Chains A and B, each alone.
Chain A
Amino acid sequence: MQTMISNRLCLAPPLPHRRALSPRLCFSGGLRLHLATPSFVFFESRCVVKVEAVARASSRDCEMATDNGQDPRIAKISSSIRVIPDFPKPGIMFQDITTLLLDTEAFKDTINMFVERYEGKDISVVAGVEARGFIFGPPIALAIGAKFVPMRKPKKLPGKVISEEYSLEYGTDKIEMHVGAVEPGERAIIIDDLIATGGTLAAAIRLLERVGVKIVECACVIELPELKGKDKLGETPLFVLVSSA
């Protein structure tokens, strides 16, 4: 395994061999999971190093993989997420990613897993949904050489915006994006911390598609599969690290 050091940073020991991703990391699209191209990883001793990843997996292999094939990073990521009952209201088990952000290894692993998946795929746009999408999106964008585009609640973005309405349990809300942030033909991923009903992500997809962008995938740390948010995303594949039943 080759280790290339970026032009400004210290030497770091090589990273361990990466194992194939687990079945839950597979998605419904046809994208092949090649990790043959170099990945940016955030190394623990404050260095950003480029390493040549050696693990390869195809989507078919992922679906067939057993639990033994699960990426060891997933367990740590999953266990670093805190569940808070009855927030924001009774009956809801809130998936709190702030504890993941306090675990430097787990946070680094989370970003690395997304970066490994998306770099070298000609993705020029990482769109992040306010506000927790702003935490995960920019590090991914920086590592894969893409722009970061914030998708915001109404009236937060100055200047010309386009907006898309979506349904809430009671009523509707809107998400906005700057006119001119993206160009037709660009390839994008949309990031949020969690997908529940899929309403917000579906609105984000519609917003980007209206301006001619191709959404390669939606990516979230957590999925609540019982809420079937994936069904709202249409043709757009969904990639998640942790599935919370």
Chain B
Amino acid sequence: MFAAENGLKGDPRLEAISAAIRVVPDFPKKGIMFQDITTLLLDHKAFKHTIDIFVDRYKDMQISVVAGVEARGFMFGPSIALAIGAKFIPLRKPGKLPGKVISESYELEYGHDRLEMHIGAVEPRERVIIIDDLVATGGTLSAAINLLESQEAEVVECACVIGLPEVKGQHKLKGKPLYLLVEPSGLDEFC
């Protein structure tokens, strides 16, 4: 669900966050309007608003784990984890995590990729949120949910800064709720 539908309607912070996101056309290939959050990270106030909104939502939900998807999930997850007193677990591309890992494959437009997590990072029945910058088809988040549930953790919610039109109206991903701050920006919205 979008934050504006869930208690933050008219919150000026959402507008500031949306305005700070840059759209880059035809990246990584023609026809894709890439939602670039690096400009959000350059805007200290808007970046702080982003983290504050997630922290306000999760701080009283007994969340003990924030899992972040490589690499842009790493830019948001740790700050949230620190503020709510949770562990941060990186979910990584294959071959990056040392030691024992479990991995889950997911579909790309053409082909497959894998996501890995350390064995023992999360304990059974721990309450987890999964963070990424953006959700499009939900393939990566689904793989992340599978990884965590395979270790008997409880995924409470997935949270992203941006939700693409494919997910609008679909509040749940594999039965898990999805919390989103903003819809994609259009080209002419970026100042």
Q: Which residues of A contact B (CB under 8 A)?
A: 8, 42, 44-48, 82, 84, 87-88, 94, 96, 98, 101-104, 107-108, 111, 130-132, 134-136, 138-139, 141-142, 145-150, 152, 155-159, 178, 181
Q: Is the CB of A96 within 8 A of B41?
A: no
* 27 A–B contacts from the bound complex (CB under 8 Å): A8-B56, A84-B98, A87-B99, A88-B98, A98-B118, A101-B87, A102-B89, A104-B85, A107-B81, A107-B82, A107-B88, A111-B82, A130-B71, A131-B70, A134-B74, A134-B75, A135-B78, A138-B78, A141-B41, A142-B79, A146-B44, A148-B42, A148-B75, A149-B41, A158-B24, A159-B22, A178-B38
Known: A130-B71, A141-B44. 15 other contacts (CB 8 A): A8-B56, A94-B98, A98-B89, A98-B90, A104-B82, A131-B70, A134-B75, A138-B79, A148-B41, A148-B75, A149-B38, A149-B41, A150-B41, A150-B71, A159-B24
| Set A98, A130, A148: member contacting B47, Cβ < 8 A | A148
Cα–Cα distance between A131 and B93 once the two chains are bound (Å): 11
A-B interface contact total, Cβ < 8 Å = 117
Q: Which residue of A lies closest to B35 (CB)?
A: A158
Please tell me the number of chain B residues within 8 Å of chain A, measured between CB atoms: 44
Q: Is the CB of B82 within 8 A of A149?
A: no
Give chain B nearest CB distance to A185 CB in angstroms.
Answer: 16
Q: Is the CB of B75 within 8 A of A142?
A: no
Cα–Cα distance between A142 and B24 once the two chains are bound (Å): 25
Q: Is the CB of B36 within 8 A of A159?
A: yes
Give chain A nearest CB distance to B139 CB in angstroms.
Answer: 19
Q: Which residue of A lies closest to B73 (CB)?
A: A134
